[in-house]
Amino acid sequence: MQSMPIEPLPGPLASRDAPLRQLPSGPFRVAAVQTVSGPDVASNLADCAALIAEAVDGGARLVGLPEYFAIIGMRDRDKVAAREIPGDGPIQQFLADTARRHGVWLIGGSVPLACDDPDKVWNASLVYDDRGNAVARYDKIHLFGFDNGREKYSEERTIAHGSRVVAVDSPFGRIGLSICYDLRFPELYRALGDVDLIFVPSAFTETTGAAHWEPLLRARAIENLAYVVAPAQGGVHPNGRETHGHSMVIDPWGRILAQRAKAPGVVLADIDPASQREVRTMLPALTHRTLHSV
């Protein structure tokens, strides 16, 4: 199997402030794929392949998969057993081959990549261009922890903390990367600098998602005057866990353009760069910032 170049991202948190750019001249279609992944990687990838093909048939040129699209195991450590060396492995090869075959940009919501700790993985969002080249990698920084007496989650037991924010230039504008629990930390999105689209692949629990998913996503869109694309896990998984779903696309004014409540499927929406320029001209809040991180 041919290895793909993915640069590891060690080091301290780094801001990626970029000057204002010219956005694409016309509208384009994005897709947020929703899955209900289980413990079998091959089966999950087959399901994703069908949904990506559906998205492409619907006109999508930029497609995002949810967090843990390749595996939600019966135990937390199952994803550690499925980890891949950065640049090599069936999950990464699937993403590269699929992007190339369909001629689309593809964001693999999160992939378990090997790290220095044999008991943990990087939970990494990987971006592939329309030729199947890996062009960006973001390792999840904020790790979910929750305990209400009935449900308990502690991602730090099996996931290593990422340490850098990542944004990538594309034919669709500058894309800011984040994963799930990152959504609760607006300082991460400010550290991205000026971005046109924000991706938030997620596996929100039903408990937290029902309360906070939509308002947090809309807030990130409004405060950054950016489109937000949020592919999610949505349903009851073989391990009994229920994820909230409600994959959606939100415009810079905070309006939900399209969403899907539960079950596997595809959310399609058109991104209009001219509309984004109009909003940013009408409400130039990004240029009015006076408090900056030190």
Answer whether residue 22 is part of any domain: no
Distances (CA, A) of 276 to 22, 197, 198, 250, 279: 11, 10, 13, 12, 5
Please tell me the distance from the alpha carbon of residue 72 to that of residue 291, in angstroms, as a whole number: 40
- The confidence score (pLDDT) of residue 9 equals 36
Catalytic center residues: 67, 140, 180
**Could you report how far apart the first and last alpha carbons of the chain are, in Å?**
45
- As for how many domains the chain has, the answer is 1
Answer whether residue 46 is part of any domain: yes
Answer whether residue 231 is part of any domain: yes
What is the number of alpha carbons within 13 Å of residue 53 lying toward its C-beta? 8
For residue 105, what are the contacts with CB-CB under 8 A and spacing of at least 6?
A: 61, 62, 63, 99, 127, 128, 129, 130, 170, 171, 172
pLDDT in tens, 139-170: 999 999 999 999 999 999 999 999 999 999 99
In the chain, % of residues over pLDDT 90: 90
* CATH number of the domain enclosing 201: 3.60.110.10
Please tell me the distance from the alpha carbon of residue 139 to that of residue 135, in angstroms, as a whole number: 14
* 77 alpha-carbon distance from chain centroid: 22
- The confidence score (pLDDT) of residue 132 equals 98
Residue type, 293: S
- The confidence score (pLDDT) of residue 250 equals 99
Q: Note down the domain range covering 42.
A: 28-285
Q: Is the pLDDT of residue 24 over 50?
A: yes
Answer whether residue 3 is part of any domain: no
Answer whether residue 52 is part of any domain: yes
- The confidence score (pLDDT) of residue 16 equals 38
Q: What is the arithmetic mean of pLDDT over 114-135? A: 98
- Averaged pLDDT of the chain: 93
Answer whether residue 14 is part of any domain: no
Answer whether residue 6 is part of any domain: no
Q: What is the arithmetic mean of pLDDT over 113-123? A: 98
Contact status, residue 153 vs residue 142, Cβ threshold 8 Å: no
Q: Is the pLDDT of residue 252 over 60?
A: yes
pLDDT in tens, 83-104: 999 999 999 999 999 999 999 9
pLDDT in tens, 210-230: 999 999 999 999 999 999 999
> SS3 of 263, please?
coil
pLDDT in tens, 258-288: 999 999 999 999 999 999 999 999 999 999 9
Label residue 293 by pLDDT band (50, 70, 90): low
Please provide the DSSP assignment of 187-233 as one string: HHHHHT-S-SEEE--B--BHHHHHHHHHHHHHHHHHHHT-EEEE-BB
Q: What is the arithmetic mean of pLDDT over 172-196? A: 98
With CA atoms as reference, report the closest residue to 36 among 62, 67, 57: 67
Q: Is the pLDDT of residue 46 over 80?
A: yes
- The confidence score (pLDDT) of residue 23 equals 62
Please tell me the distance from the alpha carbon of residue 95 to that of residue 107, in angstroms, as a whole number: 8
Tokens encoding 56? 């492409």
Answer whether residue 108 is part of any domain: yes
- The confidence score (pLDDT) of residue 7 equals 38
